Structure formats: C-alpha cells, structure tokens
Chains A and B, each alone.
Chain A
Amino acid sequence: AQSVTQPDIHITVSEGASLELRCNYSYGATPYLFWYVQSPGQGLQLLLKYFSGDTLVQGIKGFEAEFKRSQSSFNLRKPSVHWSDAAEYFCAVGGTGGFKTIFGAGTRLFVKA
C-alpha cells in the first residue's frame, strides 16, 4: 500500500544550523513527491516538488530535497535555518492514474535562538 512516513514528530534546531527532515515513501511506481510547510492556523504552502529529472530539487526559501529511489526517501534540507522557518512540514506523495496524494504525519520544526 502507498504510504508516507515522517519518522520525526518534532525537531529542534538552533538558528543558523543546518536542517534535514526525513521522509520515506512506499509507492509502486515513480512517485510525484512534494514538501509543504504549514504555519499555525494556515493552509499549506508548496516548498518544492519532484516529478522527474534531476534528483536534487531546489525550492523556495532556500530549501532543497533529494530523491533517492534506492532508499525510497525524499529528505528536505536547508543549510542555515532562520527563526521564521519554525512551522509544520509535510511530505506528500502523489501519482498518476487516479492515485490520490497522501500526506505524511508531519514534522514540527522548532528553532531556538
């Protein structure tokens, strides 16, 4: 069955430190992969997406993610975290043929000064 796993419920990093949020997926074909960010009481904003091609994807706000097929992973990274990055991050997988997008449980990022 298709699924998305975000192993970390919450992560705390210091401002200026690097960040990596993990995402593993299970999908029978080449997936469409997404990372979204949600601030409290807000909808979701797309950070980046992977459909095909270069496995290292650049997104907005300085985020990037790398698709690793062998590990079924799509981890999100940022070299230097800002306090404004504190939010909830969701990884999602979608596909063709009527396959619905499935969201991970989310990872809450806390940024300390």
Chain B
Amino acid sequence: GAVVSQHPSRVICKSGTSVKIECRSLDFQATTMFWYRQFPKQSLMLMATSNEGSKATYEQGVEKDKFLINHASLTLSTLTVTSAHPEDSSFYICSASAGLVSYEQYFGPGTRLTVT
C-alpha cells in the first residue's frame, strides 16, 4: 500500500514552454502533498505544501507564479513549471501524506525535467 506515482518520469522541453507534472496517490487519500526539488548529489528542497482544495503554501524563495501547484482532489496534485528556462532543469519529487499527525510521507519516483 501507500503508492505514489508521478507522470511523466522524464520530460524534455524547450525554453519558454510550460510543463505539467502529475502526482497521484494510488491507494490512499492524500490530505497533504509536497513538492520537492533535488539538485544533483544534494538533498531535497521543499518547494511547497498543498492541501486538497486549498492554495499551496510556498517556501521562501520559490516563485509561486512560476511553479503553479494545484491539488484538485485527494489523490491528485499537479506542478506546472511555467515559461521554463534551463535553470529549472532538475529532479522534481512529490510526496503525499495521509494525515496531519504522523507526517509520514510516501514519495513518488520523481520526474527529471530538462529544459533546452
């Protein structure tokens, strides 16, 4: 149980275009979903936290107009990188939590974004 999927696993896009990444909890309802960014050989950097039906809470330094997050249902959250640039190239990982108490997160397999 507690499986989280991400789609696509890899995406290459041209500079200036937008890319949408989906994160789904397959067998549980995710009260909270998290989006992370991971640079090569580094730890995870939390970008934003989203609760179903609410606006996402962005971490300091993360541009909310550039990284649009939608948590439309208890099983789906999307991250849209708008007007992508090469510096947005990274590994994006989502996670989902079933409750507010445990903070136990289940991670998706990640999405490798390359902006050319």
- Residues of A at the B interface (CB closer than 8 Å) are 32, 34, 36, 41-46, 49, 51, 90, 94-96, 99-101, 103-106, 108
Per the bound structure, the CA–CA distance linking A104 and B44 in Å amounts to: 8
Partner of B104 from the list A34, A42, A96, A105 (CB cut-off 8 Å) is: A34
* Complex contact A42–B109 (CB within 8 A): yes
Indicate the size class of the contact surface on chain B: 20 to 34
The residue of chain A having its C-beta at the shortest distance from the C-beta of B111 within the complex is A43
Complex A-B, nearest 5 residue pairs according to Cβ-Cβ distance, in ascending order:
A94-B103, A43-B107, A44-B107, A43-B109, A43-B110
* Complex contact A45–B104 (CB within 8 A): no
CB contacts under 8 Å to A, within B67-101, are 91, 93, 95, 100-101
* Complex contact B104–A103 (CB within 8 A): no
Residues of chain A lying within 8 A (CB to CB) of residue B100: 96
**Known contacts A43-B109, A95-B103: A105-B49 contact under CB 8 Å:** no
Per the bound structure, the CA–CA distance linking A72 and B107 in Å amounts to: 26
Residues of chain A lying within 8 A (CB to CB) of residue B108: 43
